[in-house]
Amino acid sequence: MTVGTGPSPFTETTTSARRAAYEQLTASGPVQETVLFTGVRVWLVSGYAEARALLAHPGIAKRPGGPHFDQTPAELNAAQNTHMLTSNPPDHTRLRRLVSAAFTRRRIDTMAPRIQAITDALLDDVATAGRAGEPVDLAAVFGYPLPIAVITELLGVPEQRREAFRDWTTIVINGSVYPADTYVDAVEQLVGYVRGLIAEKRAAPADDLLSDLIAVRDGTDRLSEDELTSMVKLLLVAGYETTASLIVLGTHALLSHPEQRQLLRAEPDRLPVAIEEMLRYDPPLQVAIPSVTTTPVDVGGVTIPAGEVVVPVLFTAGRDPARFEDPGGFDIARAEAAQHLAFGHGIHHCLGAPLARLEGRIAIGSLLARFPDLHLADGAADPARHPSLLVNAMAELPVRTSRSRVHQQG
């Protein structure tokens, strides 16, 4: 068993060090028992076939849990964790059906013109920030604001309330790397914020996803108060951190491979497959949410006993040489790119995948069209990553929008 003192991909904070730590992990085999930096013992399942099999295995179950679970008041745990991603059938089936009735394809498709308009306005900000040849942090100016605007608009969060939750969600999603009291405080703020939004929307329903979630019914069944609060919190958190990373990490991959950039410029119809390759090459979530084995589970030639915590590693699954030829290469024409596990697999496969793909295509397609000379600025070759047991996010991505610097007279 590896004890979590060696290189850990979760705590490595440069892109190259994280990749090297993952290479070290997979070199030891597709299934590894290890102790994380948090002191928790888990089984990391890093091979593609093994992770995919595990995600659909009937002998694993999600459980209510998460960082600092025991230090978080039970009332807050219930208000933030009673959602489909911590549920198992039949509860999961019921919750996913109820939520899918509100989170429909039609509602997502009608967002396309709004996503384009939000994107165009943000690209104006990028142009302004980069006008004098100055480096622009694409994460701060474009990658994060875009999905925040989209998910809050989709839910129907009033304009003046849209920025408020960002500080708390960053702490909540990366809870393990923060002290317990910081985490609990952020959960309390976020839950209070979501409850406030629900109360406001109950008083004044509108044509938006939050109103639909409040109203949704399946016969006599409906979402309980904790289920509703947890679901809105999940949508807010899942809906932007991951999509922001798709935009930022995907742009970084493309700009780091000029020949691929050139190919996409010459043949823009390749964009949908390019987005899949971005998700495979550098997925927004390093791992799926941990599960527990409910029976002994055979995977990758190892029998994991019942009652163990198992974690499918999405990052390494996408780079498994047994599944993807030249897995470390970035190839926007890769035929099997969409086989990645970045959106998970099985019953918990990402409910927001169509929205994320739509946002990714509009964001990256419009960015490249608007700035044909976009390139990485100094310091962007090996960008810093946030330490996290879950997300794979860059702290910043400095780019320049044009080749020529404007020398200002002064």
By the criterion CB under 6 A, which residues form the site for ligand HEM? 84-85, 96, 151, 234-235, 238-239, 242-243, 246, 284-285, 288-289, 342-344, 348, 350-352, 355-356
Q: How many residues in the chain? A: 410
Q: Which is nearer to ligand HEM, 385 or 400 (CB)?
A: 385
> CB 5 → ligand HEM: shortest distance, Å?
27
> CB 365 → ligand HEM: shortest distance, Å?
15
Q: Which is nearer to ligand HEM, 130 or 344 (CB)?
A: 344
> CB 277 → ligand HEM: shortest distance, Å?
13
The β-bridge relationship of strands 221-222 and 398-400 is: unpaired
> CB 31 → ligand HEM: shortest distance, Å?
17
Q: Which is nearer to ligand HEM, 209 or 377 (CB)?
A: 209
> CB 395 → ligand HEM: shortest distance, Å?
18
Residue in the shown chain whose Cβ atom is closest to ligand HEM: 352
Q: Judge whether 367 and 142 are in contact, CB under 8 Å.
A: yes
| Identity at 339, one-letter amino acid code | Q
Q: Which is nearer to ligand HEM, 50 or 135 (CB)?
A: 50
> CB 38 → ligand HEM: shortest distance, Å?
18
Q: Which is nearer to ligand HEM, 85 or 253 (CB)?
A: 85
Q: Which is nearer to ligand HEM, 123 or 151 (CB)?
A: 151
Angle at 198 between CA 192 and CA 203, to 5 degrees: 130
> CB 48 → ligand HEM: shortest distance, Å?
14
- 79-111: buried (b, 16+ CB within 10 Å) or exposed (e) per residue? bbbbbbbbbbeeebebbbebbeebbeeeebeeb
Q: Judge whether 43 and 308 are in contact, CB under 8 Å.
A: yes
DSSP assignment of 337-367? GGG--TT--GGG--TTHHHHHHHHHHHHHHH
List of E strands, 47-164: 60-61, 136-137
Q: Which is nearer to ligand HEM, 314 or 377 (CB)?
A: 314
Q: Which is nearer to ligand HEM, 57 or 334 (CB)?
A: 57
**Residue 222 belongs to what H/E stretch?**
strand 221-222
> CB 326 → ligand HEM: shortest distance, Å?
22
| Identity at 390, one-letter amino acid code | L
Q: Judge whether 186 and 283 are in contact, CB under 8 Å.
A: no
DSSP assignment of 294-334? SS-EEETTEEEPTT-EEEEBHHHHTT-TTTSSSTTS--TT-
Taken in order 87, 89, 92, 95, the sign of the CA dihedral is negative
The β-bridge relationship of strands 136-137 and 398-400 is: antiparallel
Q: Which is nearer to ligand HEM, 44 or 377 (CB)?
A: 44
Q: Which is nearer to ligand HEM, 91 or 396 (CB)?
A: 91
> CB 177 → ligand HEM: shortest distance, Å?
19
> CB 401 → ligand HEM: shortest distance, Å?
24
Angle at 231 between CA 228 and CA 232, to 5 degrees: 85
- 137-174: buried (b, 16+ CB within 10 Å) or exposed (e) per residue? bbbbbbbbbbbbbbbbbbbbbeeeebeebeebbbbbbb
